[in-house]
Structure 1
Amino acid sequence: MRVIPVTHSDHSEFPDLIAGMHRLRYRVFRDRLNWDVSVSGDMEIDAYDALKPTYIIAIDDSSSVVGCARLLPTTGPTMLVNTFPALLGSNPVPRSDKMFESSRFCVDTSAADNVAATGLRDATFSLLAGILEWGLSKDQEVVVTVTDVRFERILRRAGWPLERYAPPMQIDDTKALAGHLPISDTALNNVREMGHLQGPVLMFRDAPLAAA
């Protein structure tokens, strides 16, 4: 398995990966989780994909997309601030050039077969490690995210527990919440140890985190 960061300027180099990522998001968020998401054909695409995000994409040996996450700087629009601000509770809006948002994290459970003792798939650990490696390489300190209680449990089992901003809220069929996680060597080492990862997973490309 390989994990690749793809910035907006790289999209023309990886059209198949970008399309595969959007199709995976459709299968996970529309078909499996039944979320009310924006779609185009068999792809899940929303307004935040137009803000020049960086994608972290996991691919298998046949170059098929088996996992992905979307990263955006908190100095511009984010899902947390612009779509789900209620999940912050009474906390101030998180904006900093040392903080970014991760969203649309998903894994193709039908393709990612290897499962660790924690019950989590190799692709999950590799994506989490990739996000941490990316953040550390860009001198980031915190990642924020909007997620659900199911993925909160996954993060805890992966050795990277999330700190909630406020109690979960019921949004349609999802018990949603927002939180933040540290970008640190300790967190990365925890994920690598829990996932039995041997060293770095991210295939770095010489490009900065895109700003909105």
Structure 2
Amino acid sequence: MLAAILGAATHDCFDIMERVWRFRHRQFVERLGWEACRRADGREIDQFDGEEAIHLPLLVASDVVGYSRLLPTLKPHLLSDVYPHLMDGTDWPRGERIFEWTRCIAEVSDQTIAGVPISHILMTGVMEYCLVSGIEMLLVETHSKLVNLLMTTGWEVMPLAAPSVLEGSLILPITARPSMAGLLKHHELYGITGSVLDLELAPGNPFGPSPLSRLAFADEPHGTHQYSRMAGE
């Protein structure tokens, strides 16, 4: 299921992170053609993969099948250091509980988890992780197709600037807010019946020493659905 690894703890999760770096290289370099990120060792790592990053790999057995990364906006991130021109001179939200959502991808596969496509599990897991950890808002620089997907699956989306052309594609900077209503909408739309987080593989809270706790809804009935625990199935 979806793990959560703080950048400062990557040395404690060496085996998983090695699979993450190689998964990212396969997906972004070999599949999507990001030649600037190609490395001879087959590991896609950039300057933002430091101690403040949050890695969210989606695991099936020992295989990484999806991935997202969250970056704190009070530290250097893509919008601040690489793509500030997308804002056309205007500012963007920053704060302790505002993160940038980057490197989100699932492998192209017919594989499912409990009958749910892995891409749906990944998107649901990101929202659930935000709610569990206390992240209040995400910045995203993305294509209009993903903006529409976020809006129709329960994220509270707000454009930050007009679309810009980046490497031949229209890119829109937005904010996306998670909510319990949004998470339940994910569950309804995708047929998910429980938590998609594996908190045993979430060593650390980005905002303090307390371990993360699973949301209560995972054990409580909602309408006609019983959301029993899925993580670990």
Distance 1:198 1:14 in 2: 28
**Which residue matches 2:39?**
40
Aligned: 1:167 with 2:162? yes
Report 1 or 2 for greater relative contact order, CA contacts < 8 Å, sequence distance ≥ 6.
1
Equivalent residue pairs, number: 203
Please report the TM-score for the alignment, with normalisation by the length of structure 1. Answer: 0.83
The 1:36/1:51 distance shift into structure 2, 3 A limit, reads farther
| Counterpart amino acid of residue 47 in structure 1 | Q
Q: Is the 8 A contact 1:29 1:37 kept in 2?
A: no
Q: C-alpha displacement at 1:206, in angstroms? A: 4.9
Q: Is the 8 A contact 2:154 2:181 kept in 1?
A: no
Q: C-alpha displacement at 1:90, in angstroms? A: 5.0
Distance 2:107 2:25 in 1: 11
| Counterpart amino acid of residue 181 in structure 1 | A
Percent identity reads 24
| Worse-superposed segment, 52-61 or 152-161 | 152-161
**Which residue matches 1:118?**
none
Alignment partner of 2:175: what SS? strand
Q: C-alpha displacement at 1:51, in angstroms? A: 4.5
Which consecutive unaligned segments of at least 5 residues does structure 1 have? 116-120
Distance 1:135 1:194 in 2: 19
Distance 2:153 2:178 in 1: 14
The 1:153/1:35 distance shift into structure 2, 3 A limit, reads farther
| Counterpart amino acid of residue 89 in structure 1 | D
Please report the TM-score for the alignment, with normalisation by the length of structure 2. Answer: 0.77
The 1:173/1:23 distance shift into structure 2, 3 A limit, reads farther
Alignment partner of 1:87: what SS? helix
**Which residue matches 1:209?**
206
Q: C-alpha displacement at 1:192, in angstroms? A: 1.9
**Which residue matches 1:145?**
140
User: Which entry has the higher C-alpha Rg, 1 or 2?
Assistant: 2
**Which residue matches 1:184?**
179
**Shift >4 Å, 4+ stretches:** none
Q: Alpha-carbon deviations, 1:45-90, whole Å to 9, x = none?
A: 11111343110110113x1000011111111111112211122235
Distance 1:78 1:201 in 2: 27
**Which residue matches 1:97?**
96
**Which residue matches 2:23?**
24
Q: Is the 8 A contact 2:67 2:122 kept in 1?
A: yes
Distance 1:50 1:21 in 2: 14
**Which residue matches 1:113?**
111
Q: Alpha-carbon deviations, 1:158-211, whole Å to 9, x = none?
A: 443643222322212433222111121111111222121112111223512279
Distance 1:39 1:16 in 2: 21
Q: Is the 8 A contact 2:4 2:203 kept in 1?
A: no
Q: Is the 8 A contact 1:58 1:127 kept in 2?
A: yes
